[in-house]
Amino acid sequence: MRWSCSSLSAASVAVLLSSCGGSSSSCPPCPANYICANGSCWPANTASLQLATHDVEFTASVTSDVSLSKTVVVTDNGSAPLVGLGASHLASGWIEVSLAGDTLHPSEWIVWVQIHTSGLPAGTYTDEISVWGLPMSGYPDVENSPQSISVTLSILP
């Protein structure tokens, strides 16, 4: 339920516990567990990140130069919207990370992990992808964020 700042009654104002602060476009004090965003009081809900998996593994042969990819679904299990995701990783050359929103399911996002084996000798390669949620402006930080995805690439002789 959204509280319109102009519709708060005197009785509501008596139980207000937090204030949105200073400018003329801000809300009057919002009720407990509500925040001010865009001039109105909204439930102080949070987005909450959940990864479908925390481990991604690839296997290839040293004799084949291939590009392989896998996806990891990221779900917002909270009660506030995410604006987007961020991701980073350390390895260079053999791994790429991309992000995409799911237009059919607005609370789902996709982390696309692609590896390239060209020129890599036999062995095991590892990297860790850090994924974090970007909250809507004025909302609290995203719960369970950041999270990690461990990536292992095994190149067989």
pLDDT 10s per residue in the chain (157 long)? 333 444 443 333 323 323 333 333 566 677 777 777 667 776 777 788 999 999 999 999 998 889 999 999 999 888 777 778 899 998 778 999 999 876 556 678 899 999 999 999 999 999 999 999 988 777 778 889 999 999 999 999 9
Domains identified in the chain and CATH numbers: 5-43 (no CATH), 49-156 (2.60.40.10)
Q: How far apart are CA 53 and CA 87, in angstroms?
A: 15
pTM for the whole structure: 0.70
pLDDT of residue 63: 87
Given this model, what pLDDT does residue 6 score? 44
Task: Spell out a b/e string for 63-86, using b for 16 or more CB atoms within 10 Å of the CB, else e.
Answer: eeeeeeeeebebbbebebebeebe
